[in-house]
């Protein structure tokens, strides 16, 4: 599906990549089991003692993280991204649709697509704690919406190109309807 063949008249839903999501849960469970075993076994050598000490430090962080990852596997249920002629919604951040007229710029960097939103809209658009932490880590401004696509089902067309095509096709209709 190339840029020229992208149908922007219908809603597009992009779901989660289940293989990566389940792999992350498997890794988290493995790390938890490894450190529980390291804590409960008798440390007879230097490396066993380090694993035991590391278990006391890492396990209190890893167990809540694992539970959070399992929770996020099921909430929100269904497609994570909704892209429609009316706007864009990342259900991990907020279920509310961001109208294309409020999206000022779309930039792809590394494993993220950053949408610059108008300042007036960001004041009324609440973002999840995960989004605020991601923005803080990426040093994104207050009017940015950062979309991480680590666990998004891969599409034939780049996510930035899809968003840009929908925005270009529908921004004029929304601004005309608003006036």
92 and 151 in a single domain? The answer is: yes
105 and 138 in a single domain? The answer is: yes
Containing structural domain, residue 154? 80-178
pLDDT single digits (tens) 57-68: 999 999 999 999
Asked which of 74, 90, 110 is the last residue of a domain, the reply is 74
Does residue 12 belong to any structural domain of this protein?
no
Does residue 13 belong to any structural domain of this protein?
no
89 and 148 in a single domain? The answer is: yes
Asked which of 33, 56, 74 is the last residue of a domain, the reply is 74
Does residue 51 belong to any structural domain of this protein?
yes
Does residue 4 belong to any structural domain of this protein?
no
* pLDDT number for residue 111: 86
Kindly indicate the confidence band of residue 174, based on its pLDDT and cuts at 50, 70 and 90: low
87 and 171 in a single domain? The answer is: yes
93 and 164 in a single domain? The answer is: yes
CB neighbourhood size of 73 (10 A): 15
| Of 59 and 172, the one with more pLDDT | 59
170 and 85 in a single domain? The answer is: yes
31 and 66 in a single domain? The answer is: yes
pLDDT single digits (tens) 124-145: 888 888 788 888 887 777 888 8
Residue 4 has pLDDT above 60, yes or no: no
């Amino acid at each position: 599906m190339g840029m020229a063949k992208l149908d922007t008249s219908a809603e597009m839903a992009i779901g989660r990549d289940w293989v990566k999501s389940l792999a992350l849960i498997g890794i988290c469970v493995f790390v938890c089991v490894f450190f529980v075993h390291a804590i409960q076994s008798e440390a007879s050598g230097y490396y066993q003692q380090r694993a035991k000490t590391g278990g006391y430090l890492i396990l209190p962080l890893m167990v809540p993280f694992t539970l959070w990852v399992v929770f996020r596997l099921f909430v929100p249920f269904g497609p994570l991204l909704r892209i429609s002629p009316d706007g864009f919604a990342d259900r991990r951040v907020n279920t509310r649709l961001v109208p294309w007229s409020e999206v000022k710029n779309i930039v792809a960097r590394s494993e993220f697509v950053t949408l610059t939103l108008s300042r007036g809209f960001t004041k009324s658009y609440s973002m999840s704690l995960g989004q605020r932490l991601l923005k803080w880590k990426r040093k994104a401004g207050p009017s940015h919406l950062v979309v991480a696509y680590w666990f998004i089902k891969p599409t034939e067309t780049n996510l930035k190109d899809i968003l840009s095509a929908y925005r270009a096709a529908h921004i004029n209709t929304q601004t005309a309807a608003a006036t």
